[in-house]
Structure 1
């Protein structure tokens, strides 16, 4: 006979596993510091490529003007300094936001994995209790015969 409690526990475990557990276990497979660092490195690479691409697009657009633009050496140095300061400033802001976001994501995944394990333990305890009850009842009936 199937009990409602057993069905409820199995359904909870299956729902957690289907929705969130796979990704959460993947995230929790790393230490928090490693997970956040890997994600920040990915962000840094993507940000740098995007910044360089936007710079290239800007240079191409400036070069396609009707007049040839010539800059003095001082102006080019100033533009370069502004470019570097802008890159580093935005990079710092992006990495700070990424650190906060991925730290929060790791904590959430850790909670989900903990809940999943608790559900699994409850289900295992239920099965252990049922098997002990069945073993003890089978033992008494064998003695009675």
Structure 2
């Protein structure tokens, strides 16, 4: 005879596996520190590329007017402003990335614990049925 509780549990577990389970399994395969570090490295790379492209566009666009007035003091000040802006952007993106990554890892681990608990319940139902 079909057990409705077992069928509901199997359906619930299968839906989880198909939807968010794949991503959760990938995330929870890492330790939290490793996952966050990996995301921080990716953030550093993409922030650097994006900031570099933005600065090239801004400097290239305004370079014609600045070439006539360019002095050593202006170059030093321009480089300092660019570097301070880059550092500020990096700090902000690192803070945001670490918070998001920590939360994402924590939530994935919690969902995986519920999934594993459901698998244990299903296994107990099968063992009970076989006895």
Q: Smaller-chain TM-score range? A: over 0.9
Q: Deviations over 1:11-58 (max 9, x none)?
A: 111111111111111001110000000011001100000000011111
Residue 46 (structure 1) aligned with residue 46 (structure 2)? yes
Contact 1:63 1:69 in 2 (8 A): no
Q: Pairwise mapping of residues 1-145 of structure 1 onto structure 2 (< 5 A)? A: 1-64=1-64, 68-132=67-131
Distance 2:8 2:69 in 1: 74
Closer/same/farther in 2, CA of residues 106 and 14 from structure 1, 3 Å limit: same
Per-residue deviation, 1:70: 3.3
Distance 1:64 1:74 in 2: 18
Per-residue deviation, 1:69: 3.2
List 4+ stretches of structure 1 deviating above 4 A.
Answer: none
Structure-2-length-normalised TM-score: 0.95
Q: Where does the alignment leave 5 or more consecutive residues of structure 1 unmatched?
A: 133-145
Distance 1:11 1:73 in 2: 70
The residue aligned with 1:135 is: none
Closer/same/farther in 2, CA of residues 89 and 43 from structure 1, 3 Å limit: same
Distance 2:67 2:24 in 1: 56
Contact 1:20 1:112 in 2 (8 A): no
Q: Number of residues paired by the alignment?
A: 131
